[in-house]
A and B are shown apart, each in its own frame.
Chain A
Amino acid sequence: MYIPYDIVAIIVFLMLGYGFGQLAEKKHYRSIKQRENQHKEILVFSAKTPPSDWQIESAELVQGSVVVSVDYFKRFLFSLRNIFGGRVEAYESLIDRGRREAVLRMKEQAALSSSQSIFNVKFETSSISRGVSSALGSVEVFAYGTAVKTTPK
């Protein structure tokens, strides 16, 4: 009997991607929400400098970065979506997870020096592609800013 191994492999990858991908995403979101709650007192601003009446003790550069990849099933969904165009929800959650994780890592670094706020936060997103043939699969999100420690009045 002829078995088309390549098609079987694709179906197995799709199932693996769907199952483990969904699990991993839910777990990641749970951890993100829990840590966001934990670090909610560290304020993040895109403003350039702190207000002039703040008593500033110290300032330092903090950064956070993460490389996240989309699963095989979502990549398949994207190839279908690419035919008709429109919103690609599969990739929206990927970028969202990456950005929030990068900000969290930046906040965790700021928490180490007990800074209360981060100013001038910049984001950088770059796609890590492996050769021309493969479509967008993984992105690096990098966030950096100046953590400021203020003295209580």
Chain B
Amino acid sequence: MLITNVETVPGSKIIQHLGLVQGSTVRAKHVGKDILSGLKNIVGGELKAYTELLQDAREEATSRMIEQAQSIGANAITNVRFATSSITAGAAELFVYGTAVIVEEEQN
């Protein structure tokens, strides 16, 4: 599965559009990790637990989008966008969407 965030797949030619595909996940944080992050907040710096949490959530959303694209027979997703929204204090939704297409390699 080729994924890009531009309108085309550079190096390939789009032969068919299959419409919008999307994936999302809602994640809440772990209490223990939250307490540790609270302590880290005093000295500042990277909060690795949160970085990992959000990165995992994005991967999950992306894999759901890929599943949806595969089920309709696409081999690439173009124009991918990410969106993050906080639903309540402590939970966030990560949403990813794009256009499913069928591409073939360009002959030069």
Partner-binding segment picked from B20-28, B36-44, B67-75: B36-44
Interface residues on A, range: 35 or more
Chain A stretch 90-104: residues in CB contact (< 8 A) with chain B: 94, 101
| Inter-subunit contact B89/A74 (CB<8 Å) | no
Q: How far is the CB of A20 from the nearest CB of chain B, in Å?
A: 4
Q: With the chains together, A76 CA to B11 CA distance in Å?
A: 52
Given the complex of chains A and B, what is the CA–CA distance between A140 and B50 in angstroms? 9
Name the A residues within 8 Å of B87 (CB-CB): none
Q: Which of B5, B11, B58 contacts A122 (CB 8 A)?
A: B5
Q: How does the 8 Å CB contact mask read for A102-138 relative to B, with 1 for contact and 0 for none?
A: 0000000000000000011010101011111000011
Which residue of B has the minimal Cβ distance to A101? B46
Q: Is the CB of B8 within 8 A of A69?
A: no
Number of B residues with CB within 8 Å of any CB on chain A: 37
Cα–Cα distance between A97 and B42 once the two chains are bound (Å) = 17
The complex places the Cα of A70 from the Cα of B40 at a distance, in Å, of: 9
Contacts known (A49-B10, A57-B11); A70 close to B50, Cβ less than 8 A: no
Contact: A55 with B51, CB < 8 Å? no
Q: Which residues on A sit within 8 Å (CB–CB) of B44? A: 17, 20-21, 24-25, 68-72, 74, 94
Cβ of B32 under 8 Å from chain A: no
Bound CA–CA A130/B80 (angstroms): 29
The reply to whether B6 and A138 form a contact with Cβ atoms under 8 Å apart is: no
In the complex, which of the residues B6, B40, B90 contacts A119, with contact meaning CB atoms closer than 8 Å? B6
Q: Which residue of A lies closest to B77 (CB)?
A: A61
Name A59's contact: one of B2, B34, B84, B108 (CB within 8 Å). Answer: B2
The smallest beta-carbon distance between A101 and chain B, in angstroms, is 8
What is A's interface to B at a CB cutoff of 8 Å?
A: 13, 16-17, 20-21, 24-25, 28, 48-50, 54-61, 63, 65-72, 74, 94, 101, 119-120, 122, 124, 126, 128-132, 137-138, 140, 142, 144-146, 148
The 15 listed contacts between A and B (C-beta, < 8 Å) are A16-B42, A20-B43, A56-B10, A59-B10, A61-B4, A72-B41, A72-B42, A122-B82, A124-B82, A124-B83, A130-B34, A131-B89, A137-B41, A138-B37, A146-B10
